[in-house]
Amino acid sequence: MKTAIVIGAGLAGLTTAIYLANNGYKVDVLEKNRQVGGKLQQRQVNGYTFDLGPSTITMKSVFQSVFSDCGRRMEDYVQFEHVESGTTNYFANHHVVQFSTNIEKVESMIAKYSVTDANKYREFLYASKKLFETAEKHFLNRAMIGWKSTLDVSLITNFLKIHPFTAYQKWLNQFFTHPNTLAMFGRYATYVGSSPYKAPAIFGMMGHIEGNLGVYRVKGGTFQIALAFKKLAEELGVTFHFDTEVIDLEKKSDEIVSVRTNNSTYTADTIVCNMDALTFYHKWLQDDPTFRKIKHIEPSLSGFAILLGIKKRYSMLKHHQVFFPANYQDEFKEIFIDKQMVTKPTIYVCYSGYEDDSVIPNMDSSNLFILVNAPALTSEQDWNTNKERYKSEIIAELERRGLHDLSEHIEYEEIMTPADLYTHTEAYQGSIYGLSSNNWRQAFFRLPNKSKKYNNLWFVGGSVHPGGGTPIVVKSGQVTARAIVNE
């Protein structure tokens, strides 16, 4: 029987383990924490449930395929439900756009501040759909292994169709002129930890993914996806080893012979890394040719999160909402150039209790996950000293934007900084997505799915091809597992 070790139990690692086990491999998953999920974790306290990772779920069919490819029904493991209301966008000039798959309604709300932009919305969705279809067909569903993958004729032919050298914001300017609309759709670049003013146009495909295909929620919180994948993996014979941290790799010639952990030493034919690949290379693969290329990469943005259990319900809050500042562009200068906390950040608030009373103690309470973009860690930052002040500033801004007396109704509070993200997940410099996509090379030529030096070492997750985002890391696990089986 062929054997495999998967290092890390994030969604990509879980997906890889599932597909390898379904193809007859004996699979051991090594996870340093006490639970699966990677960055997708959950906190339960005093009747409040918070998802600590992604909360906006798209591309439901990707998750379904994991189960159907194994002869299962996803509905028997986890419940996805369409979010009718989408994201509510609050702008500094008091306009509001409730995004959804209802094109006419979105057009009417945009028209309240820009008829010109409203008239261009359908054209934007059509262009967005074309980007998605090209990416799906030629980029997202293949593993990047070596130079033959990069120089594939089909890949090169379709590369120019997705405007690789055009900045996303410049591409958006074809359709929209008003700052509200540009910020609302420009924000999609942050889904992969990047700046809309530097990232390539390909991320415009998110308009189609959310505006046409729709946004979903998961009953009980998005962490249920990780638990469902774990259950399926165990049914297929995967063995999980928790509280098991990799200490070293034993190498011999062009192979990884064994993986040494704090508990034991494990051997297998195939090794799959679902740790942040940048961290993995820095720790153990400085002898790999790829390491020379990553020493000067730009990390993605990180995040500063506040979990609030509130003894109050706000009528203005739905499942997802974003509060934009007056000048959206300043945020990305502060993050990627100044590398400092954002002075006037865009504030995302997830209230999953809006549609799911299982995640709140009662109907007069709110579980708020508040997130602002932050720079990756540097030696100049001191999050421990500044986090309380920054938290207070964010809450005060939300109170000014309509969540009156928010601070007076806090029943539970927790702060998570980029430093905490690094401690819990070993994310490179506390960045959420590994490397940023702020230039075409980092966006399209991410770290490969296979080591150039070690024949049995593979990589999955948001820091490698095809990139970040919950459904995309699942695709990473799928294409890599298929490549391993085929090889």
At 238, which CATH number? Answer: 3.50.50.60
Model pLDDT, residue 483:
96
Give residue 239's pLDDT band: very low, low, confident or very high (50, 70, 90). very high
Note whether residue 434 is domain-resident: no
Q: Is the pLDDT of residue 293 over 90?
A: no
CA distances to 14, 95, 114, 126, 400 from 108, rounded to whole Å, are 42, 12, 10, 18, 26
What amino acid is encoded at 108 in this protein?
S
3-state secondary structure of 444: helix
Average pLDDT of the residues in 207-226:
94
Note whether residue 50 is domain-resident: no
Q: Is the pLDDT of residue 144 over 70?
A: no
Closest CA to 84 of 96, 97, 98: 98
Task: Copy the structure tokens of residue 243.
Answer: 């509280």
Domain span including residue 18:
3-41+219-296+440-486
Model pLDDT, residue 223:
96
Note whether residue 184 is domain-resident: yes
What is the rounded average pLDDT for all residues in the chain?
Answer: 93
Say if residue 305 is in the same domain as residue 398: yes
pTM of the model: 0.94
3-state secondary structure of 309: strand
Helices (H), 413-486: 418-425, 440-444, 470-486
Burial of 214 from C-beta contacts in 10 A (0-12 / 13-18 / 19+): middle
- Pairing label, strands 270-273, 3-7: parallel
Diameter of the chain measured on Cα atoms? 66
Note whether residue 67 is domain-resident: no
3-state secondary structure of 277: helix
Note whether residue 118 is domain-resident: yes
Give residue 207's pLDDT band: very low, low, confident or very high (50, 70, 90). very high
Q: Is the pLDDT of residue 177 over 90?
A: yes
Say if residue 166 is in the same domain as residue 91: yes
Note whether residue 474 is domain-resident: yes
Note whether residue 355 is domain-resident: yes
> Which residue shows structure tokens 């997130």?
371
Say if residue 307 is in the same domain as residue 378: yes
Give residue 56's pLDDT band: very low, low, confident or very high (50, 70, 90). confident
Q: Is the pLDDT of residue 139 over 50?
A: yes
Average pLDDT of the residues in 257-284:
96
Say if residue 269 is in the same domain as residue 349: no
Cα end-to-end span (Å), the chain: 15
Give residue 160's pLDDT band: very low, low, confident or very high (50, 70, 90). low
CA distances to 60, 203, 207 from 121, rounded to whole Å, are 24, 16, 10
Model pLDDT, residue 176:
98
- The residue from 214, 240, 259 where one domain ends is 214
Give residue 421's pLDDT band: very low, low, confident or very high (50, 70, 90). very high
Say if residue 201 is in the same domain as residue 102: yes
CA distances to 24, 25, 481, 485 from 21, rounded to whole Å, are 5, 5, 10, 10
Model pLDDT, residue 165:
84
Q: Is the pLDDT of residue 271 over 80?
A: yes
Give residue 149's pLDDT band: very low, low, confident or very high (50, 70, 90). very low
Task: Copy the structure tokens of residue 22.
Answer: 């379904």
3-state secondary structure of 402: coil
- The residue from 179, 214, 249 where one domain ends is 214
- The residue from 398, 425, 452 where one domain ends is 425
- Distance between alpha carbon 351 and the CA centroid of its chain, in Å? 18
**165 vs 20, more confident:** 20
Task: Copy the structure tokens of residue 370.
Answer: 């508040």
User: Which value, to the nearest 10 degrees, does the dihedral of the CA atoms of residues 290, 295, 301, 307 take?
Assistant: 90
Q: Is the pLDDT of residue 235 over 70?
A: yes
Q: How many domains does the chain have?
A: 3
Phi, psi of 12 (to 5 degrees): -65, -45
List of residues 6+ apart from 430 with CB closer than 8 A: 302, 376, 377, 417, 418, 419, 421, 422
Task: Copy the structure tokens of residue 2.
Answer: 């062929």
C-alpha to C-alpha distance for 84 and 88, rounded to whole angstroms:
11
Q: Is the pLDDT of residue 295 over 80?
A: no
Say if residue 102 is in the same domain as residue 183: yes
Say if residue 240 is in the same domain as residue 342: no
Q: Is the pLDDT of residue 147 over 70?
A: no
C-alpha to C-alpha distance for 272 and 326, rounded to whole angstroms:
45
Say if residue 135 is in the same domain as residue 171: yes
Say if residue 287 is in the same domain as residue 340: no
